[in-house]
Amino acid sequence: MEKTYLEPKEKKGLLVVLTGDGKGKTTSALGMALRAAGHGMKVCMIQFMKGDIHSGELDSLPRLAPEVEFHVMGKGFCGIMGNPYKFPEHREDAQKAIGLSKEKIASGSYDIVILDEINNSLMLHLVDLPQVLELIDSKPPLMHLVLTGRDAHPEIIKRAHTVSEVREIKHAMGQGIEPQKGIDY
Q: What is the DSSP string of 51-107?
A: -SS--THHHHGGGGTTTEEEEE---SSTTSTT----HHHHHHHHHHHHHHHHHHHHH
End-to-end Cα distance, the chain: 37
The pLDDT tens digits for 31-67 are 999 999 999 999 999 999 876 667 888 888 899 999 9
Q: What's the pLDDT at 140?
A: 97
> 15-167: which CATH topology?
Rossmann fold (3.40.50)
In 3D space, the residue among 149, 65, 64 whose CA is nearest the CA of residue 114 turns out to be: 149
- pTM for the model: 0.91
Confidence tier at 80 by pLDDT (50, 70, 90)? low
- The answer, yes or no, to whether residue 76 has pLDDT greater than 80, is no
CA 150 to chain centre: 11
* Domain extent listing, the chain: 15-167
Give the CA count within 13 Å in the CB-facing half-sphere of 127.
27
